[in-house]
Chains A and B, each alone.
Chain A
Amino acid sequence: MSEQREHVTLEQDAILTKKKWLPHPFLSVNMLLIWLALNNASMGHFVLGSFLAIGIPYLVQAFWPQAVRIYRPMLLVQYLFLVLVDICKANVIVAIQILGPSKKLKAKFFEVPLDVKDDFTITMLAGTITLTPGTVSAELSPDKKRLLVHGLNVESAEEEIELIKQRYEKPLKEIFECSTRSS
């Protein structure tokens, strides 16, 4: 255990001492595109945006040692659509629940055991849970193994956990964490 921790700190030291240009290529491209969209696209903004897109990741790379890798981009697109449709569906359900008698609601906390390990993937999962109305992710356990979720109307916690794991966690795991990267 301690050996593993030592290994991690060594890795971080290596990153701190040896700075890379373009540590997060995806992030840089996205930053440039968003900069161009925010300001009206022109040559001047292209130069300024490129400067920022290269400079900022270079300066903050110590805080974010691992670059995000997308293993299955098509599945990501599919996942985004799935989440959008779910947001619409769940919004209607929750609207009815809010307008209906609030005594009948069975609000409940439940813990979702996590299979995903990467910080970014957990963030995506927690964000998805919060954005789909009816559930709000409330706390991540310190060991990053369980996520505490509050449901507005939960009939059975087991079913809800199974739904989150099957519907959201499984695709996220396949998109961002391939089975080969298990550490």
Chain B
Amino acid sequence: MAVFIEYLVAALILIGATFALIGSLGLVKLPDFFQRLHGPTKATTLGVGGMILGSILFFTAVERTFQFQEFLVSLFLFITAPASAYIIAKAALHLKIQHNADDSTKKESNDSNTSE
């Protein structure tokens, strides 16, 4: 039983780490600023979520102490991550950072429309 739980914990932590890695890769690899913004939002949701689930499972099953604080980590992340992403995106729009998007719906499209 304990071995099974250890495998489960390992799997959860690996899944979380993988998503955090892919999120960071996206930050490096994607071509423009607004696309790169999608990387970190992933890393905070499933990446940290998976690691925290693994940690909770480990402490309840193996150490026999239930740590409620760990839920708060993800709670605060889920509240603050959209706020920071929103502020970064707003700042980027304000500075008219170049993007490859097809911006037919965007208001000030004339001078930010580049690089097709």
Residues of A within 8 A of B (CB): 34, 37-38, 87-88, 91, 94-95, 98-99, 102-103, 105-111, 126-127, 129-131, 133-134, 136-139, 148, 150, 152, 157
- Please give me the residue from chain B that is nearest to A103 by CB atom: B31
Residues of B within 8 A of A99 (CB): 22, 25
Whether B45 is near chain A, meaning CB under 8 Å from some CB there, is yes
B41: contacting residue among A107, A108, A109, A133, CB under 8 A: A133
Pair B93/A98 contact, Cβ less than 8 Å: no
Name the residue among B31, B71, B86 with the largest chain A CB count within 10 angstroms: B86
Q: How far is the CB of A84 from chain B (nearest CB, A)?
A: 9
Tell me if B82 and A102 are in contact (CB < 8 A).
no
Beyond A37-B69, A138-B92: 4 further Cβ-contacts under 8 Å? A109-B106, A130-B86, A138-B86, A138-B93
Are B42 and A107 in touch, CB under 8 angstroms? no
Which residues does chain A contribute within 8 Å of B102, judged by CB atoms?
A: 106, 108
> Using Cβ atoms and an 8 Å threshold, which residues of chain B touch A134?
38
Q: Which residue of A lies closest to B78 (CB)?
A: A131
Nearest B-chain residue to A88, judged by Cβ: B46
User: Which of B23, B99, B106 is the one whose CB lies under 8 Å from A148?
Assistant: B106
A134–B45 CA distance with the chains assembled, in angstroms: 12
> A-contacting residues of B (Cβ < 8 Å)?
19, 22-23, 25-26, 29-32, 34-35, 37-39, 41-42, 45-46, 49, 68-69, 71-72, 78-79, 81-83, 85-86, 89-90, 92-93, 99-103, 105-106
Interchain CB contact under 8 A, B46 and A131: no
Among candidates B29, B45, B90, B103, residue contacting A87 with C-beta atoms closer than 8 Å: B45
- List, sorted by A's number, 30 A–B pairs whose CB atoms are closer than 8 Å: A37-B72, A38-B69, A87-B46, A88-B46, A91-B46, A95-B19, A95-B22, A95-B42, A98-B26, A99-B25, A102-B31, A106-B102, A107-B34, A108-B103, A126-B82, A126-B86, A127-B83, A130-B85, A131-B41, A131-B78, A136-B37, A136-B41, A137-B85, A138-B34, A138-B89, A138-B92, A139-B86, A150-B34, A150-B89, A152-B35
Interface-centre pick from A98, A103, A137, A139 (highest chain B CB count, 10 A): A98
Contact flag A133-B79 (CB < 8 Å), given A108-B102, A110-B105: no
When A109-B105, A110-B105 are in contact, do A133 and B42 touch as well, CB less than 8 Å?
yes
